[in-house]
Every structure is written in C-alpha cells, then in structure tokens.
Amino acid sequence: MPRLILHTDLRSAEGPWRALYGDGREHTPFQGFDYCSIVGRFFLLSTRPLYRNRVYEVRDDADRTVLLLPLHVGRGAMAGQAFLWGEFSQAGYLEAITGEATTAGALRFALEAIAGGRPMAFTFSRVRAGSRMDRLVEAAFGPAELERKEMPCAHIPLGVDFDGYLGGLAKGHRQKLRAAARRLEADGRRWEVRTFLDQPMPFATQLRLFDLYWRRMRQKGVNFKVRKYFPYCLRRWFNPTILALGRLPNTCYAILHIDGAVAGFCAGFRAGDGSITLPFLAVEGRFGAYSPGGLLIQGTIRHLLERNDTPVLDLARGNERYKFDYGGVAHANHCYTIRVVRSPGPA
C-alpha cells in the first residue's frame, strides 16, 4: 500500500523534493524547491489566515518517493479548497513534482487521502497541456470528477541561427523591425538590448524595471485586486516571482535602452532543459513609435542564438498578438478543478 506523509514545514521535504525534481528537464522552473521556498515565505506574510502551506509526499510499496504535492490548503472561509503551491504568484506554470515512477493511482490516492472523506475541490490552474502532470490528471479522474478549461499560451522555438529566425517571420513584421531601426537612426537615437543570463537581478535594477512594469499595468487597466484578500501593496512590493528574480541563479532578463533610458524589459527563469520562461514583459509607451517590444524580443533572441543554449523562449500565458508577430507558436495550459470525496487520511 502507498502511504502519505504530511510535511507542514517545507524544509522537511527538501531532500525528497530535490531528488524527485532532479535536473529539472521534466519540470518547469516554478516547481523548483528554491522558487517554492520564496512563495512559501511570502504566503506566511500575506494569506496565512486563509491557507495552510502543506506538502504531501507519496511513497510506494518500496518506500520510494513517487510524488510530491505542494498545496495551499484553505481553512476558515476557504475550507474545502486547495490550490497548487504558487497559485497566487505570477508563475507561468504550476504542477506537482513527479518522476518516472509516478502513477495516476498515486495522484488519486493522494487527493482522496487529503480530502479525508470530506467534499474537497483541488484547483490545478496552470498545467502544461501534454506534460506528465497533464497525463496523470486525465488518467486518474473521470469526467464526473474533473472540469478542464484550456488557457492560451505561446512560445518561440529559436532554431539554429538568427537569419533563420528572421526568415521565419512574416514579411510585414521583418519590415516593421527594419523600419524601427531606421527611424531610430534617423532621429539620432542610440539603442541596444542587453541580455543577462543565469544570474540574479540586482535590487536597484528591479526597482527601475518594475517601476515601469507596474506603471504599464495601471495604464492598461489591469486589476490586481481580483482576489480581495490579496492586498495590492503586497502584490507590488512582496510579489514572490519578483523576489525570486533577485535571488535565484537561473534568472534571465533583457533590457532595451534607448538613449540610455529603459524602453522595455523582459524577465523570467531558465528551466532544466535550457528553455527560458518569461512571466514579465513591459515596454515604455513614450517609445511606441519605435516598436520597442519587437526590438526587445529581436535583440534577446539574437543573443540567445549566439550562445546556442536556449531551444525555446517561452512567453507563457496569454495569446497577445505580438507574441505571434515575432515567431510565437500556440500551446495551452489546462486549468483543472478536481472534486473528490473518498477514504479518510491526513489533512
């Protein structure tokens, strides 16, 4: 019989977590222990009255760890609900930590035991379509227990050289990039894209870049108070994904400068397979005549192809047009709601 081990302190799960995560090739950077540690500390500050942070470890008959399920488990007004760890962060993807020995039966066993015979809804909102986690969920639960929504995402396959990348763009978009560069030259403006790979972002840089980011979000009318129990000031100054940019060694970011001013940036994390996922991208509106988003993406891709160590630039959630203008390919996240009521167990 499998058994379920409850960890109320993330540190007690670090050993099996790092072992199961391995080199991260099958996982996203948002499942790494260090990223999730930052999310966990943020949650103690922001939503402690409403959720408990819990890590559930499933061991098989041979006492091998086959599944780690990190959850935010609701209590009080939120009782009966659970979300994958990082739900309220800007993580591009959220999945359990699985391995080759993980089975659909192990996942079902875990959720039934956590529910403990009570009605409970588990929300797994950002599971990559076609991933191991996606296949496990579909195999473990039937249509009566499972609700699935598809959410659009986009990524740019980088190929082998920059000329090949440009050649794959529609003619109009190639012309747009050339016209932007000519316009900058005609106006006597200097511009460059600087790329920083596999290094934490300095705090002073964070302040400059995210001043632009939050300003652009306000201009676009993005509502960061969707969850009324998640204060805006905490999202702005204690956002765990932003904090992770300043602490994790797999941080990657690029900055577009025009005449020395920040005209745009993108930022995210490298995964074990070499791909980079960018949850953040913002451009300065006053430079809109120069297509700063296109110049930023083009300059970032040029540098990545010179290094030849990044197969995919993942623009993560959303299907904004610019992502496809510059080579994006559609893929999807699956948002699952799983409702189970079965055998009692720890909670």
Q: Give the list of residues 6+ apart from residue 343 with CB closer than 8 angstroms, or none.
A: 112, 113, 116, 117
Summarize the confidence of residues 279-285 as an average pLDDT. 95
pLDDT at 38 over 90: yes
67 and 101 both lie in a single domain: yes
Full domain range(s) for residue 257: 155-331
241 and 214 both lie in a single domain: yes
pLDDT at 64 over 60: yes
Flag whether 130 is in a domain.
yes
What's the pLDDT at 346?
47
| Pairwise pLDDT comparison (233 vs 79), residue with the higher score | 79
12 and 141 both lie in a single domain: yes
167 and 309 both lie in a single domain: yes
What's the pLDDT at 40?
87
Backbone region of residue 110 per phi and psi (left: phi > 0; alpha: psi in -120 to 50; beta: other values): alpha
The CATH number for 209's domain is: 3.40.630.30
State the pLDDT confidence band at 227, using cuts at 50, 70 and 90. very low
What's the pLDDT at 226?
42
Flag whether 347 is in a domain.
no
- What's the pLDDT tens digit per position in 290-305? 999 999 999 999 999 9
142 and 204 both lie in a single domain: no
State the pLDDT confidence band at 214, using cuts at 50, 70 and 90. confident
114 and 234 both lie in a single domain: no
Provide the number of structural domains found in the chain.
2
Which tokens hold the place of 79? 């009782």
pLDDT at 225 over 50: no
138 and 166 both lie in a single domain: no
| Pairwise pLDDT comparison (293 vs 49), residue with the higher score | 293
- Beta bridge partners of residue 150, listed in sequence order: 334
E-only strand ranges, the chain: 3-7, 51-59, 65-74, 81-84, 97-98, 120-128, 146-157, 191-196, 251-258, 261-270, 276-283, 312-317, 329-340
108 and 202 both lie in a single domain: no
**3-state secondary structure at position 177:** helix
Which tokens hold the place of 42? 């943020």
Flag whether 31 is in a domain.
yes
